[in-house]
Structure 1
Amino acid sequence: MARQATIKGLANLQRKLDRLPTAAKEHIRAEMAKAADEIVATMRKLAPVLKEPDARRRAGALRDSIGWTWGKAPKGSMVVAALKGAGVGGDLTITIYAGGGEDDAFYARFVEFGTKKMQAQPFFYVSWRAHRRGRNNVRTRLNRAVRESARQVARSK
């Protein structure tokens, strides 16, 4: 003889599970933006600035051209990395870039890697690697955001 079991609160559980993707997405999006801001701030600190005036370039143009955006980088910019919130949605992609847009700091890659006549002054990948490693790296923070949003949804009614 088969026993019959009923699950109490199944509708409530289903509502919470339906709410999880949107709550997680919002939480992850905020955490990704915070991580991108920190990486860009480090890159801007390390970016070399012209000490002497130059008719061809504005002092600080390279530093000011460093930024991040959701989706693709501006045309002509050097892309360091794209942070993707895997498993949550395709629209969660942050691209960190330098040397594009209105500042016209096309020479970002020349400064980063050097040329035949100019020694490299790395600022871009050094910052990315520093934030990729360590205790408070991007992946750890995103995983923490997913766990926190799951707990938050589980506690809600």
Structure 2
Amino acid sequence: MVQGLKSLNRKLTKTIPDRVRVKTRAALEKGAEEIVAMMKSFVPVDSGALRDSIGWTWGAAPEGSITLGTVRQSKDGDEAITIYAGTRNKNLGDKDAFYVRFVEFGTQNMPPSPFFYPAYRNLKRRVKGRVTREMKKAIKEGAK
């Protein structure tokens, strides 16, 4: 029989996951801020509407925007962070940035000016490493 097994199970199912969730959330937010800042520095600026439409959120992106994808913090999907650009909102008038896909991928008459995916690819490893480090640190803190 293993001594302290009940205590270990309690720590693994309650204490560590809460601590890991908090640390992971903070690391994801910091990574999203970095990616958004780089995207804004890469995007060509005309009226500024497209640059201003770039952002991140917990949950779903605004209607009409393109997303990098969604990172779920758990298998249940109770928390998801989404990085997005562009909008499809006629109420915004000249601030509607429905054309984000045209800028990113180009058209027959316009060459692409990629900003969205290059920023993501540039920072992906750094953000993933930060999240992993923070998770490991939280687990070690909980084991003490």
- Indicate the TM-score class for this superposition, using the shorter chain for normalisation: 0.7 to 0.9
Q: With the length of structure 2 as denominator, give the TM-score of the two structures.
A: 0.85
Equivalence for 2:82: 95
Equivalence for 2:115: 123
Distance in 1, Cα, partners of 2:62 & 2:104: 18
Query: Greater helix percent: which structure?
Result: 2
Query: Identity of aligned pairs, percent?
Result: 46
2:133 maps to 1:144: yes
Equivalence for 1:66: 54
RMSD of equivalent CA atoms? 1.9
2:76 maps to 1:81: no
Equivalence for 2:8: 13
The number of aligned residues is: 138
Equivalence for 1:53: none
Q: With the length of structure 1 as denominator, give the TM-score of the two structures.
A: 0.78
Between Structure 1 and Structure 2, whose CA radius of gyration is higher?
1
Structure 2 runs not aligned, ≥5 long? none
